[in-house]
Every structure is written in C-alpha cells, then in structure tokens.
Amino acid sequence: MTAAEPTIGVLALQGDVREHARALEQAGARTLNVRRAEELDQVDGLVLPGGESTTMWRLARAFELLEPLRKRIEGGLPAYGSCAGMIMLADRIRDGVAGQETVGGIDMTVRRNAFGRQVDSFESDVPLTGMGDTPYHAVFIRAPWVESVGDAVEVLGRAESGPNAGRIVAVRQGRLMATSFHPELTGDFRVHHYFADLVRRAMRKED
Ligand code: GLN
C-alpha cells in the first residue's frame, strides 16, 4: 500500500457499489468491497453508496457491521456517503422508519426522501467548494437533504435552482463528507477525486 494509491472500500451490503468502485479507480484508488468487519480493517477510506438506507441499516445490523463502522469512523477513518450513504453518516435523521439507526459521524440532521416529495428524480447544477469553478451537474434520486448542521460542519454545496434552492446537498466535517446526489453516475468524478485526496492526506496525517 503506497500513499499515492490508497485502498478505498465500498460498503457492499446494497446499492450502487460497482459504479462507486469504478469512479474511485478513475480517481487513482484501489478498491475493496466491504461486507465484513475484517475487510473494514484493510481500507484507508470508505464509501457508503446510494441505495436504500433502511435496507442498508438492516443488513449492517445483520452482518454485525454497525458497531465496527462506528468505531472505525470515530477512530478517524475517512468516509464519504452518497444519498442513502449520506443518511448513514448523519448523527440525526428525520422521516426514518421506526427504529432506524445510522452509523453517524457528521453533526447534521438529514431528512430522508426530502426532495422526493415533489419529484422522484431530478438534475441540477451545484457549485461545489474546493472542486473547481464549473458547477457540478448533480443527479438526485429520491434524495435526502441536510436540514441543519452543527458548527464543525462545512457546507460544500447547495441546490441552486427550483423550489428547493438553497437546500444543503454537500457537506464535510473533517475526514467525513456526504452528498445528497449521485456523483458515481455522471462520468464527472470530481467528488471522488476530492475524497481520494482527502484519504491520501489522512494517510500522510496531514488532515
Ligand atoms: N431514499 C433512499 C433512502 O432513504 C435514498 C435514495 C438513494 O440513495 N438514491 O435511503
């Protein structure tokens, strides 16, 4: 394992695992599908993909991964959650199913299916801090939004247009980041590059 080529795991319980792995490889990382706690010990960073957070939560429980995930993230493992993965990284959720738990780590409140009440899927340009001057063309699918964030959370992007303009859709807190949208689907891998760089800096203990 070299600093130049981190190994980034993709939580492979459910969701669009393969698309994230491909995007991470484009960003210069090796990838590993993570389904067991031992696999979690082998990665320098972790992506929690989009999918369905209620299913992901149930499977994480069944595979006895919830506690290992919490411990690794508390211990400083860089992690990036997209859509359902954003929900998994939220300290607090709204509109979850009864008893729904998250891994947590980011001091934010995320509302499930928030945009989905108006429209199931849509695309919108989102300017993203630290990821170039061109706004990111973001794809939202039954997406959550971030309702509120604590002081330690940096807002990286907000929806730019439409009735939900101004809603927070991309955040970072230290080594953790999350987006409401699906950057693995568009061929523009700036978000994955940003995360791979974050992982490399964490490996060099610069962040
Ligand atoms: N609505 C889904 C959930 O609650 C997230 C949708 C997605 O990841 N595309 O988990």
Mean pLDDT by groups of 10 residues along the chain of 207 residues = 78 96 97 97 97 97 97 97 98 97 98 81 92 94 96 96 86 98 94 98 88
Tell me the pairing of strands 154-158 and 45-48. Answer: unpaired
Q: Which pLDDT score is estimated for 2?
A: 46
Q: CB under 8 Å to 196, separation ≥6 — which residues?
A: 6, 8, 24, 27, 28, 29, 45
Average pLDDT value for the chain: 94
Looking at the CA of residue 52, tell me the nearest atom of ligand 1: 10
Q: Which pLDDT score is estimated for 24?
A: 98
- Cα separation, 62 vs 124, in Å, equals 36
Q: Which pLDDT score is estimated for 177?
A: 98
| Residue 141 annotated as lining a ligand binding site | yes
Active site residue 184: yes
| Residue 52 annotated as lining a ligand binding site | yes
Q: 36 CA to middle of ligand 1, Å? A: 22
Q: Which pLDDT score is estimated for 116?
A: 75
Q: Which pLDDT score is estimated for 16?
A: 94
Q: CB under 8 Å to 143, separation ≥6 — which residues?
A: 83, 113, 114, 115, 116, 169, 180, 181
Residues with CB under 6 A from ligand 1: 50-53, 83-84, 87, 112-113, 141-142
Under the phi-then-psi rule, with left for phi > 0, alpha for psi from -120 to 50, and beta for the rest, what region is 163? alpha
- Cα separation, 130 vs 15, in Å, equals 27
- Domains along the chain with CATH numbers: 7-203 (3.40.50.880)
Active site residue 182: yes
Digit-coded pLDDT (tens) for 64-111: 999 999 999 999 999 999 999 999 999 999 999 999 999 999 999 999
- Cα separation, 37 vs 7, in Å, equals 15
Q: Whose CA is nearest to atom 2 of ligand 1?
A: 52
Q: Which pLDDT score is estimated for 196?
A: 98
CB neighbours of residue 5 within 10 Å: 13
> Of the listed 20, 184, 192, 193, which one is catalytic?
184
> Of the listed 19, 20, 83, 193, which one is catalytic?
83
Q: Which pLDDT score is estimated for 184?
A: 93
- Give the Cα-Cα-Cα angle 170, 175, 176 (nearest 5 degrees): 40
